[in-house]
Amino acid sequence: MFPIAIMYYYGTNLDNQFAVPGFWPKPEQTNRIPFEKDEIRSELERLRQRRLYLRDKRLKAEGKGAGDSSAGDS
């Protein structure tokens, strides 16, 4: 009887027992795939700008780190 009771306990009301609030993103929070030509162009431009920004940021950080270490050695 004990295994049946355990299976019944864990098998009923699963939505409330094992649900983690806020785990799945809401539909308005998900990325929407662009299908129109203008939307695709604007999304590609946005991604390009983001990539260039992160690249510049990384290069500045690498340049700053390399400059600090060479100045400390002298």
**Can you give the pLDDT of all 74 residues of the chain as single tens digits?**
888 888 888 777 777 767 788 788 788 878 888 899 999 999 999 999 999 999 999 999 998 876 555 555 54
Whole-model pTM: value is 0.47
What is the C-alpha radius of gyration for the chain, rounded to an integer number of angstroms? 26
Q: What pLDDT sits at residue 70?
A: 52
Cα–Cα distance for residue pair 44/50, rounded to 1 Å: 10
For the chain, what is the total number of helices (H) and then of strands (E)? 3, 0
Contact 64, 55 (CB under 8 A): no
